[in-house]
Amino acid sequence: MQLSTVTGQLSACLETVEKALPVRTTVPVINNILLNIDSNRLTFSATNHEIFINVSMDHQGSDSGRILLPPKIVDIVRYFPTPSVLIDINWDNYRLDISGGSARFHLYGASAEDFPTTSVSPEEELTESFNLDLIRFKKILKEVVFAASTEETRPAFNGILFTFKGQTLSLTASDTYRLVINEIYDQSWSFEETKCLVPAKALREFLRIAGEGHTGVTVGYQNSLLTVNFDNTFFASRLLEEKYPDVSGVIPFEFKTRVIIERKLLEETIARAALLAEGKNQAVNIAVKDNRFEVRVNSQEGSMEEYLPVEQEGEGLELFVNSRFILDILKIRDEEKIIIDFHGEGGPLIFRLLDNSSYLYLVLPIKKVN
């Protein structure tokens, strides 16, 4: 059986699906990429038992079949010297003869009989789903995923909590030192009230494979999986079974101090301060008084101080905070100005948006600097 296809298109499919290959596994079959061939489609699939990626491309042919491709084929096609590639499959021994111009490769695949599949297909009806522009969905994810924990000792906080209710989707992430909540409202949605906990690691992988075009995306869940379907790509992630704690009680109702500050200027100032910040906490000293936002660092390497004008409401205060936590939020936002609410010297900082009350980012101050 022969397949003739465009090298670039084939490479794009393989490089996308490669992201689901396991780093280490005790199940050898999933070290491979599944190729499913029918009369008009080539479909490539891979899984590490946590995520599943399925990518399709058009194909004109009369034969069909399934074969496992060794992962080395990804690099072979990536560096192939010709704009088209010919793959000859011998079904008796699963040998792959790959050729184009003067280049010849011979690889051995395997039977696809034992390759696992997801319990949801792109065509299956989902328990809950919604449609969005892909660019908007990526932006929504980027605004929360950075705050999720990467420590395996806190499995619930390794996830992003998706809360569906009516016409609102709420995303929550925390590593116990900070918390972000992002609520998205759409009149076209109508959700039953339910929740699912999606691994942040899986969503980071999705962001790596998602394109830049304004294509439509369908997001949903079914059978303990979150699924994302767009263009020729189907992405699925297993949900976490841990119970996510109720975080509403850590958000204060009233601030003691509020400032409105230029986001970009604050980002640049904190970045300069972080150059001298030390230790695990990368602490910087923040003080608010007399419509001034003061940033200071005093470490073994040196010291700095800088201040910015702000619109201040409420009392003055001084505290220490992790500079990386502050930079994380300032880098992903693009607003000209941002609100910071303070709740006393021992209370949290809450970053809010001037024109969007449904987004907040809470950071706990550092109680003691070593």
Share of the chain above pLDDT 70, in %: 97
What is the per-residue pLDDT for 123?
Answer: 61
What is the per-residue pLDDT for 125?
Answer: 64
- What are the backbone dihedrals phi and psi of residue 186, each rounded to the nearest 5 degrees, phi first? -145, 125
Q: What would the pLDDT profile of 310-325 be if each residue is shown by its tens digit?
A: 999 999 999 999 999 9
Q: Does the predicted model carry a pTM greater than 0.85?
A: yes
Domains and CATH numbers, the chain: 2-108 (3.10.150.10), 128-238 (3.10.150.10), 251-363 (3.10.150.10)
pLDDT higher than threshold 90 for residue 154: no
Q: What would the pLDDT profile of 252-306 be if each residue is shown by its tens digit?
A: 989 999 999 999 999 999 999 999 998 888 999 999 999 999 999 998 889 999 9
Looking at per-residue pLDDT, the higher value among 192 and 111 belongs to 111
pLDDT higher than threshold 70 for residue 370: no
For 2, the token pair is: 């022969």
Residue 149: band (very low, low, confident or very high) from pLDDT cuts 50, 70, 90: very high
pLDDT higher than threshold 80 for residue 124: no
